[in-house]
Copies of this chain bind each other. A is one copy, B any other.
Amino acid sequence: MPGEKLLRRHALSIFRAAVQAANPRRTVLAALEKEALSRYRRIFAVGAGKASAAMAQAAEQALGRRIHGGWINTKDGHLAPLRRIRLHEASHPVPDARGVEGARRIAGIAAHAGEGDLVLCLISGGASALLPLPLEPVTLEEKQETTRLLLACGATIHEINAVRKHLSAIKGGRLARLAQPAHVLALLLSDVVGDPLDVIGSGPAAPDTSTFAAAWAVIEKYHLQEKIPPPARRLLQDGLAGRIEETPKPGDACFRNTRNVIVGSNRLAVDAAARKARELGYRPLVLSTTIEGETRDIAGMHAAIAREIVATGRPARPPVCVISGGETTVTLRGQGRGGRNQEFALAAAIALEGLPGVLAFSAGTDGTDGPTDAAGAMAGGTTLARAAAAGMDARQALRENDSYPFFERLGDLVMTGPTGTNVMDVRLMLVRGR
- Partner-B contacts on A (CB < 8 A): 156, 194, 267, 285-294, 296-298, 300-301, 304-305, 307-308, 311-312, 314-315, 326, 395
CA distance A156 to B394 in the complex (A): 13
Q: A285 to chain B: which residues have CB within 8 Å?
A: 315
The 4 closest A-B pairs by CB, nearest first: A293-B297, A297-B297, A288-B304, A288-B308
Determine the residue in chain B with the shortest Cβ distance to A289. B308
Please state if A308 and B287 are interface contacts (CB–CB under 8 Å). Answer: yes
Determine the residue in chain B with the shortest Cβ distance to A295. B297
Q: How many copies does the complex hold?
A: 2
Query: Which of B294, B296, B305, B395 contacts A287 (CB under 8 A)?
Result: B305
Q: A291 to chain B: which residues have CB within 8 Å?
A: 300-301, 304
Please state if B308 and A301 are interface contacts (CB–CB under 8 Å). Answer: no
Determine the residue in chain B with the shortest Cβ distance to A193. B304
Task: Show 23 residue pairs from A and B whose CB-CB distance is below 8 angstroms, ordered by the A residue.
Answer: A156-B395, A194-B307, A286-B308, A286-B312, A287-B301, A287-B305, A288-B304, A288-B307, A288-B314, A289-B308, A290-B304, A290-B308, A291-B300, A291-B301, A291-B304, A292-B304, A293-B297, A293-B298, A294-B294, A297-B297, A298-B301, A304-B326, A315-B315
A51 nearest CB across to chain B (Å):
24
Q: A395 to chain B: which residues have CB within 8 Å?
A: 156
Q: A314 to chain B: which residues have CB within 8 Å?
A: 286, 288
A287 nearest CB across to chain B (Å):
5
CA distance A290 to B307 in the complex (A): 8
Please state if B267 and A288 are interface contacts (CB–CB under 8 Å). Answer: no
Please state if A301 and B315 are interface contacts (CB–CB under 8 Å). Answer: no
Determine the residue in chain B with the shortest Cβ distance to A326. B304
Q: A301 to chain B: which residues have CB within 8 Å?
A: 287-288, 291, 293, 298, 301
Determine the residue in chain B with the shortest Cβ distance to A322. B315
CA distance A164 to B300 in the complex (A): 27
Query: Which of B288, B293, B300 contacts A292 (CB under 8 A)?
Result: B300
Q: A267 to chain B: which residues have CB within 8 Å?
A: 312
CA distance A199 to B307 in the complex (A): 18
CA distance A288 to B288 in the complex (A): 16
Known contacts A194-B307, A267-B312, A315-B315: A293-B300 contact under CB 8 Å: yes
Of the listed residues A293, A296, A311, the one surrounded by the most CB atoms of chain B closer than 10 A to its CB is A293
Q: A296 to chain B: which residues have CB within 8 Å?
A: 293
A190 nearest CB across to chain B (Å):
14
Query: Which of B286, B294, B298, B305 contacts A288 (CB under 8 A)?
Result: B305
A169 nearest CB across to chain B (Å):
29
Determine the residue in chain B with the shortest Cβ distance to A395. B156
Query: Which of B286, B290, B300 contacts A315 (CB under 8 A)?
Result: B286
A394 nearest CB across to chain B (Å):
12
A157 nearest CB across to chain B (Å):
12
Q: A311 to chain B: which residues have CB within 8 Å?
A: 194
